[in-house]
Structure 1
């Protein structure tokens, strides 16, 4: 099987809570059988850096990391990457990486 890239935003009181909810939402929408090509396939998340970015800048940074096959996010069995996004209210992250498909 191959892999596909994913990019989603998620909010929550902590990165871990937002990641968990994003996984549950993806599994509910795409199934629990594996090989969904979504964040549902991820079991860990890695915070790439702590400085919040605009959503556009976070997307550009994530695309760049995927394009250069950054080892922190380039393994379909490894962790998802996370970048904090500047937002009013609850903490928000861009979650991204490649997932088995």
Structure 2
């Protein structure tokens, strides 16, 4: 069994709710098939402190953590990483595309390795 990287954007009133929403969407997409290489395989996440990515492109930052083998997200069996997309064009676009304008909550980017 191998591993693959993933990124997944999701919305929620809290990061926990966004993570749950991301997993549910992945489960709908992949069905009951195991080891999809997606967020579906994750059962937890680690919030990366904003001070580490403030002013940076969030997707690029996530890709760098994956490429560098950052200990917090480097295991296919461990937690996913999470960064807030608050204040980004990607968050605005996600809200618009998903009819979330004006709703309380935040858009999050989850990423890491998952078994496939």
User: How does the TM-score come out when normalised to structure 2?
Assistant: 0.78
Distance in 1 between residues matched to 2:19 and 2:43, nearest whole Å: 9
**Aligned-pair CA distance for 1:53:** 5.2
In the TM superposition, 1:38-57 aligns within 5 A as: 38-50=38-50, 57=57
Give the paired residue count.
Answer: 100
Q: Which runs of 5+ in 1 are unaligned?
A: none
Residue in structure 2 matched with residue 96 of structure 1 by the alignment: 111
Distance in 2 between residues matched to 1:19 and 1:41, nearest whole Å: 12
Secondary structure at 1:62 match in 2: helix
In the TM superposition, 1:21-40 aligns within 5 A as: 21-40=21-40
Deviations 1:5-61 (A, max 9, x none): 00111111000000001101101111233201100000001001135757x711011
**Aligned-pair CA distance for 1:72:** 0.8
Q: Which runs of 5+ in 2 are unaligned?
A: 93-101
Distance in 2 between residues matched to 1:65 and 1:9, nearest whole Å: 17
Q: Normalized per residue, which structure has more helix?
A: 2
Distance in 2 between residues matched to 1:98 and 1:66, nearest whole Å: 8
**Aligned-pair CA distance for 1:70:** 0.6
